[in-house]
C-alpha cells in the first residue's frame, strides 16, 4: 500500500520547499511568492484540499494526480469552504493560486510533487 512520504503536518513545508529548491520556471516562482505572502488560513485551506485527495491514494501515480487535481480545483474547493464558514477574504488568493497552477507544465508538476510523491528514493 502506498503512503505519502510526508505527514499532513509537513505537507506545506514539502510543497513550498520544492517550489524553492526543485522548480525553476516563472509560474513556480509566482506560486512560491504567492504561498509566502498569502494568509496562513488560505494556505492551510489549500493544504487541506490537497490532503483530502492525497490521503487515500494507493500508488505514486495516483498521489501525483491527486496533488495536481486538488491544486487545479482549489478555487472551487475554496469557494465551497468559504460558503460553509463565511470566510470573507481570500478569494483573490485562491484565484491567483489556481490560475498560476494552470500555467504549470509537466516538469513543474513533477518537481513540485517530488518530496510528497517520491521522497528521497
Tens-digit pLDDT profile for residues 1-51: 567 778 889 999 999 999 999 999 999 999 999 999 999 989 999 999 999
In this prediction, residue 111 carries a pLDDT of 96
CA distance 14 to 84: 28
CA–CA distances in Å: residue 36 to residues 23, 42, 53, 95, 97: 15, 11, 23, 16, 12
CA distance 85 to 59: 33
Q: Write down the residue that cell numbers 483530502 correspond to.
A: 52
In this prediction, residue 48 carries a pLDDT of 95
Tens-digit pLDDT profile for residues 62-96: 999 999 999 999 999 988 876 666 566 788 889 99
3-state secondary structure 40-99: HHHHHHHHHHHHHHHCCCCCHHHHHHHHHHHHHCHHHHHHHHHHHHCCCCCHHHHHHHHH
Sketch the domain layout of the chain as residue ranges: 8-117
Q: Tell me the pLDDT band of 121, cut-offs 50, 70 and 90.
A: low
CA distance 54 to 70: 9
SS3 7: coil
Give the pTM: 0.90
Amino acid at each position: 500500500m502506498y503512503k505519502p512520504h510526508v505527514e499532513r503536518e509537513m505537507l506545506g513545508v514539502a510543497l513550498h520547499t520544492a517550489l524553492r529548491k526543485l522548480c525553476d520556471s516563472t509560474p513556480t516562482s509566482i506560486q512560491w511568492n504567492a504561498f509566502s505572502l498569502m494568509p496562513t488560513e488560505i494556505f492551510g485551506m489549500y493544504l487541506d484540499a490537497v490532503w483530502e485527495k492525497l490521503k487515500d491514494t494507493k500508488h505514486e501515480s495516483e498521489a501525483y494526480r491527486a496533488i495536481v487535481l486538488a491544486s487545479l480545483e482549489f478555487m472551487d474547493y475554496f469557494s465551497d469552504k468559504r460558503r460553509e464558514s463565511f470566510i470573507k477574504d481570500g478569494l483573490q488568493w485562491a484565484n491567483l493560486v489556481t490560475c498560476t497552477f494552470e500555467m504549470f507544465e509537466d516538469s513543474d508538476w513533477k518537481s513540485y510533487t517530488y518530496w510528497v510523491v517520491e521522497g528521497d528514493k
